[in-house]
Amino acid sequence: TYFISSECIDVKDRACVEECPVDCIYEGDRKMYINPVECIDCGACEMACPMDAIRNSSTVGRSDVFAVDNADYFREPLPGRAEPLGNPGGAMKIGTIAVDTPFVSTYGS
Ligand code: F3S
Ligand code: F3S
């Protein structure tokens, strides 16, 4: 699957969102997150990102910290929430989530 890495943090260009045929790129506060269950691996987002922030975990490795963090965004409860986000089936309908994983919120500080 594909995931979004550090280069998106505090940039959020959003060109990737326009390209995704299944609308599986969700908006946190500092960065965007790809839902690994909903992503169909089309790769369109990877080419669109001007920051080269999007990677394929089968190339980079599933243990990459941002690959794990992207998956955790959906499978672990986010700060301030009791339940995990899960697989909402489309980012547009839920809008900006405005929360990051603890890893991303403190990244670089
Ligand atoms: Fe981020 Fe690149 Fe998308 S900067 S919002 S991954 S286009
Ligand atoms: Fe969408 Fe990118 Fe996956 S365009 S389907 S998130 S590879």
pLDDT of residue 107: 97
Dihedral of alpha carbons 43, 68, 37, 32, sign:
negative
Secondary structure of the chain: what % helix, strand, coil (to 5)? 30, 15, 60
Residue 2 clears pLDDT 90, i.e. is over it: yes
Residue 39: count other Cβ atoms within 10 Å of its Cβ: 18
Task: Please indicate, yes or no, if residue 107 is contained in any of the structural domains.
Answer: no
Contacts of residue 106, Cβ cutoff 8 Å, sequence gap at least 6: none
pLDDT of residue 108: 95
Rounded to an integer, the average pLDDT of 11-33 is 98
Structural domain range at position 46? 2-97
Task: Please indicate, yes or no, if residue 106 is contained in any of the structural domains.
Answer: no
pLDDT of residue 29: 98
% the chain with pLDDT above 70: 100
Task: Please indicate, yes or no, if residue 44 is contained in any of the structural domains.
Answer: yes
Q: Where does the pLDDT of residue 21 fall: very low under 50, low under 70, confident under 90, or very high at 90 and above?
A: very high
Task: Please indicate, yes or no, if residue 104 is contained in any of the structural domains.
Answer: no
If one counts the domains in the chain, the total is 1
Task: Please indicate, yes or no, if residue 102 is contained in any of the structural domains.
Answer: no
Q: Where does the pLDDT of residue 62 fall: very low under 50, low under 70, confident under 90, or very high at 90 and above?
A: confident
Distance (Å) from CA 43 to ligand 2 centroid:
5
Give the ligand with the smallest distance to the CA of 104. Answer: 1
Task: Please indicate, yes or no, if residue 62 is contained in any of the structural domains.
Answer: yes
Shortest-distance atom of ligand 1 to CA 15: 7
Task: Please indicate, yes or no, if residue 53 is contained in any of the structural domains.
Answer: yes
**Cα distances (Å, whole numbers) of residue 101 to 9, 13, 33, 74, 81:** 12, 19, 10, 10, 11
Residues with CB under 6 A from ligand 2: 2, 19-20, 22, 24-25, 34, 39-45
Alpha helix locations (H) across the chain?
A: 15-19, 44-48, 57-60, 65-75, 102-105
CA-CA distance, 40 to 35, in Å (whole number)? 10
CATH number at residue 92: 3.30.70.20
Distance (Å) from CA 95 to ligand 1 centroid:
16
Q: Where does the pLDDT of residue 11 fall: very low under 50, low under 70, confident under 90, or very high at 90 and above?
A: very high
Task: Please indicate, yes or no, if residue 55 is contained in any of the structural domains.
Answer: yes
